[in-house]
Amino acid sequence: TQKKPIIISTWRHGLAANEEAWKQLKSKKPALDAIVSGVGISEADPNVQSVGYGGLPDREGKVTLDACIMDHNSDCGSVSFLQGIKHPIAVAKKVLENTPHVMLSGKGALQFALSEGFKEENLLTEKSKERWKKWLENSKYKPVINIENHDTISMLALDEAGNLSGGCTTSGAAWKMHGRVGDSPIIGAGLFLDNDVGAAAATGLGEAVIRTSGSAMVVELMRQGKTPFEACKEIVERIYNKHKNHKDMEYLQVGFIAINKQGEHAGYSIRPGFNYAVYDTIEGNRMESAASKMV
């Protein structure tokens, strides 16, 4: 059985993203190009209201984006609080390639994107604007669990050479404060990989993932011999226990996906409803449901 290549992505919109990334990997494109094109499908889709173009705005009605990317050499690039650029993941890759840094934020990230030839555009669609206006009527901040089943997209790939890479891109929590940055652009929180071990990525309430260095911890447990399933489960349980008496508990959802060097993969979340897309040579592209701590 041939386990490589294999691509896994969070949520149902991961299917279309996998499809594109798979094509790229199969035509011998570099893994990071596959990641950028793959998650770029979700970024450009106005019906995915949690990523890129058409993403739900912050409480001021501004769409602000977070993304990061990481390769098998542990090189990484990230942008946070970026506005007006449809493909933050592509900007994150340019940060990796063309700067001495790992993270660029806000105005500086935009300035860099423009210098790299990206075009500034309005990312707030009428549909998202309507939902924001509805929200303004009460202006209550309450994260929504499993937002319409399409959420942050995180993608992990094991290529034919056996190298790991990953990317993560999001418009973050809807109705967040202006300037809020989540876990998704933070290496170690929203995404982490070690090419000797495995890769992990998160979706859900970013604050909880940052508090616990989520993805880095999942990878560390795999280093200690845990399977992807055991590693995701243990960190989800840790997050759950840490938040038992926390004000966020009422609506807390966090999910992880993970893959190891053998191509074994898993997903695990606090609440039911989380799923992820898997593409491999044996079974093709399909959804897998994740187990959960709560029932």
d(CA 162, CA 176): 38
Figure out which of the listed residues 152, 165, 169, 212 binds ligand SD4, where binding follows CB under 6 A. Answer: 152
Q: Please tell me whether residue 182 binds ligand SD4 under the rule CB under 6 A.
A: yes
CA dihedral (2, 38, 286, 218) in degrees, to 10, reads: 70
Report the candidate in 134, 2, 146, 118 with the shortest Cα–Cα distance to residue 52. 118
DSSP bridge pairs for 153: 169
- Least separation in angstroms between CB 25 and ligand SD4: 24
- Least separation in angstroms between CB 119 and ligand SD4: 24
Which one from 10, 64, 152, 212 is the annotated catalytic residue? Answer: 152
Contact assessment for residue 54 and residue 45, using Cβ atoms and an 8 Å cutoff: yes
- Least separation in angstroms between CB 173 and ligand SD4: 5
DSSP assignment of 82-123: E-S-S-HHHHHHHHHHHSS-SEEEHHHHHHHHHHTTPPP---
Q: Please tell me whether residue 55 binds ligand SD4 under the rule CB under 6 A.
A: no
Report the candidate in 226, 98, 204, 91 with the shortest Cα–Cα distance to residue 149. 204
Closer to ligand SD4 by CB, 114 or 144: give it: 144
Closer to ligand SD4 by CB, 25 or 69: give it: 69
Figure out which of the listed residues 43, 159, 183, 220 binds ligand SD4, where binding follows CB under 6 A. Answer: 183
- Least separation in angstroms between CB 252 and ligand SD4: 11
Using CB under 6 A, which residues numbered 132 to 151 contact ligand SD4? 151
Contact assessment for residue 174 and residue 136, using Cβ atoms and an 8 Å cutoff: no
Contact range with ligand SD4 by CB under 6 A, out of 13-21, 69-77, 199-207, 235-243: 199-207
Closer to ligand SD4 by CB, 172 or 228: give it: 172
- Least separation in angstroms between CB 130 and ligand SD4: 21
Closer to ligand SD4 by CB, 114 or 147: give it: 147
- H or E element in which residue 239 lies: helix 228-242
- Least separation in angstroms between CB 257 and ligand SD4: 12
DSSP bridge pairs for 200: 192, 258
Q: How many residues bind ligand SD4 (CB under 6 A)?
A: 12
Q: CA Rg, the chain, in Å?
A: 17
Q: Please tell me whether residue 20 binds ligand SD4 under the rule CB under 6 A.
A: no
Contact range with ligand SD4 by CB under 6 A, out of 51-59, 67-75, 203-211, 280-288: 203-211
- 152 given a catalytic annotation: yes
Report the candidate in 202, 199, 194, 267 with the shortest Cα–Cα distance to residue 230. 267
Q: Please tell me whether residue 204 binds ligand SD4 under the rule CB under 6 A.
A: yes
* Sign of the four-CA dihedral 23, 38, 286, 216: positive
Closer to ligand SD4 by CB, 72 or 150: give it: 150
d(CA 181, CA 206): 8
d(CA 87, CA 203): 19
Closer to ligand SD4 by CB, 163 or 169: give it: 169
Residues found near ligand SD4 in the complex (CB under 6 A)? 151-152, 170, 172-173, 182-184, 203-206
